[in-house]
Homo-oligomer: A and B are copies of this chain.
Amino acid sequence: MMSDFYQPHSALDLLQRFEGDVKARRRYLHERFERIREVDGQLKAMTALADSDVIMQTLDNVQGPLRGLPVAIKDIFDTCDMVTAYGSRIYAGHRPVSDATIVTLLRRQGAVSIGKAAACEFAYTAPTPTRNPCAPNRTAGGSSSGSAAAVAAGYVPFAIGSQTAGSTIRPASFCGVAGYKPTFGLLPTTGMKCFSWSFDTVGLFASGVRDVAYLAQALSGRRLAVNHFPGKPTFGLPESYPWTPASANAAAVMDRAVRMIEAAGATVIPVSFPAWMAELIGAHATIESYEAFQTIGFEYDRYPELLTPILREFLDKAAEVPNDAYIAACRKAESAKTALLAWFDGTDALLTPSAPDEAPEGLNSTGDPAFSRNWTLLGAPCVSVPGLRGERGGPIGVQVIGRRNDDAATLALAAFVESTLRKA
C-alpha cells in the first residue's frame, strides 16, 4: 500500500539545494501553497494558512539556519497572524494577540510559519478529520495529527507539534516521518494551550532524524545536529511491556529492525522494566487528569456544551481526583525520574515500537499512546524513527528512548538506527 499523498521532503536536502539560489527557495515556497491548496481538501491537515503574498515578500530577507524553510504549527500554539482555535469549537475564529515563544524562535532562525496544523481538541484525544497521507482511509494519529500529516504529505519539511501523552511519537509513527519529543523543558511551551503543566512538551516533525535534529539545534541553541554516529552502541530491548502489548505486526517489524541494527555493528540486549514502570501508567493518568481539570477549567465551567463528549467525560472524572492522589503521583514520578537514570546503566538507549501497531483504520480514533505515556512522564527524550512498514502496508516507527538531558546522544543513536533501516 502506497499513497500519492506520501512525499516528505528532507529539510537538509532543501537547504543544500537552495544555497545561493534565492529563486529556487521562492519557487519551493510557492509550490507549497499550491500543494496544500490542491490536496488539503482531501487530507485536512491544515486549519489556517498564512497570507502567501506577505510570506513571499518577507522571504528574501530571512537568514539563519532555517532560512526560508516553511513550517506548519500545531493549532495549539498561538499565532498572531493566523486563527488559533486549539482544536476547539469554543475558540472558532480566535486570533491571538501574540505568537507562542516557539513561533518567535522559528522566525528568529529564519523559518517561515505558513500554516496551522490540525490538532485534537486542546491536544487531548477527540479525533481531527485529518487523513493519513500514507493511507487516506486511516487516522494520522493524534493529537498532532496535522503536523505529522503535513510533513508526510510534503506540505512542509518541518512541523511543530506537542506531546502530553503520545501526541508526537504516535502520529510520526503512523505517518512515516521522524518525530522527536525532547527532554521535558528543552523547548519553551509559553503561548501553547496548556493541558498538563507537568507533561506538556513541544514536539518536532521532519522527514528524517537528521532533519529533526537540525531543527532542534536551531530552536534550542544546543548542539543537537547529528554529525557522526556513535561508535558501537548498545540498545536495550524490553522483553515485555506493562501497557498495551505490541501487536504481532509491530513485533515482527521490531524483529526486522533489531536484525538490521545488529548487522550494522550495534549490540541489542534484552532488558526488563522495574516494577515501578507499571505504576507510572496510573500516575500519568492521575497527574494529567488533576492538572487538566484546572487548565481546561475555564472552558469546562463556562462552555461544557461546546466540549466533545470524550473530553467532557474525561474532565467529569478528573474532577474527582483527590489532591492527595495527585501529590502521591507527583512524588512517584520524581523518584522514578532518578531511578530511571540508574536503570539505564549498561545501555545507551532503549528500542521499542513507537505505537502498538500501524495506524488503525478509520478516523474515529487517533490510536493508543501506550508506548509514549511513561516516557513523557519521565521527561526522557524519544525519537520515532521512520523507515519500516507493517504487514498491512502502513508505517511503524522504531522508538529510540534516551536519558533525560541526553538529547544529543539520543538523536545520534536514532540517526544511526535510521541509517540501518534505510539499507533495508
Contact = CB atoms under 8 A, between A and B. Distances in A.
A105 B301 contact: no
A159 to B, nearest CB: 20
A327 B407 CA distance: 13
A104 B301 contact: yes
Nearest to A222: B323
A188 B295 contact: yes
A406 interface: no
Contacts of A294: 101, 104-105, 188, 190
A104 B323 contact: no
Given A91-B97, A94-B97, A97-B94, A297 B104 contact: yes
Contacts of A327: 222
A295 B100 CA distance: 8
Nearest to A290: B221
A194 interface: yes
A342 B239 CA distance: 39
B295 A98 contact: no
A332 interface: no
Contacts of A221: 323
A61 to B, nearest CB: 14
Given A190-B194, A190-B294, A190-B295, A301 B222 contact: no
- What is the copy number of this chain in the assembly? 2
A108 B297 contact: yes
Main secondary structure of the interface of A (DSSP, over half): helix
Contacts of A80: 298
A262 interface: no
Which of A107, A194, A222, A297 is packed against the most chain B CB atoms within 10 Å? A297
A299 interface: yes
A374 B57 CA distance: 47
A99 B190 contact: no
Contacts of A222: 323, 327
Interface string A184-204: 010011110010010000000
A291 B108 CA distance: 15
A185 B331 CA distance: 13
Interface in A165-214: 185, 188-191, 194, 197
Contacts of A291: 188
Which of A80, A94, A190, A220 is packed against the most chain B CB atoms within 10 Å? A190
A212 B301 CA distance: 26
A337 B345 CA distance: 25
Contact of A301 (B108, B194, B301, B323): B108
A20 to B, nearest CB: 27
A222 B220 CA distance: 36
Interface in A287-330: 291, 294-295, 297-299, 301, 323, 327
A323 B291 CA distance: 31
A58 to B, nearest CB: 13
A311 B184 CA distance: 29
Contacts of A101: 194, 294-295, 297-298
B323 A105 contact: no
Interface of A: 80, 91, 94, 97-99, 101, 103-105, 107-108, 185, 188-191, 194, 197, 220-222, 291, 294-295, 297-299, 301, 323, 327
Closest 7 CB pairs of A and B: A221-B323, A104-B297, A190-B194, A98-B298, A99-B298, A104-B298, A190-B295
27 contacts: A91-B97, A94-B97, A98-B298, A99-B298, A101-B194, A101-B294, A101-B295, A101-B297, A101-B298, A103-B298, A104-B297, A104-B298, A104-B301, A105-B297, A107-B301, A108-B301, A188-B197, A188-B294, A188-B295, A189-B197, A190-B194, A190-B197, A190-B295, A191-B194, A191-B298, A222-B323, A222-B327
Given A101-B295, A188-B291, 14 more contacts: A80-B298, A98-B299, A99-B298, A101-B297, A104-B294, A104-B297, A105-B294, A105-B297, A107-B301, A188-B295, A189-B197, A190-B194, A190-B295, A222-B323
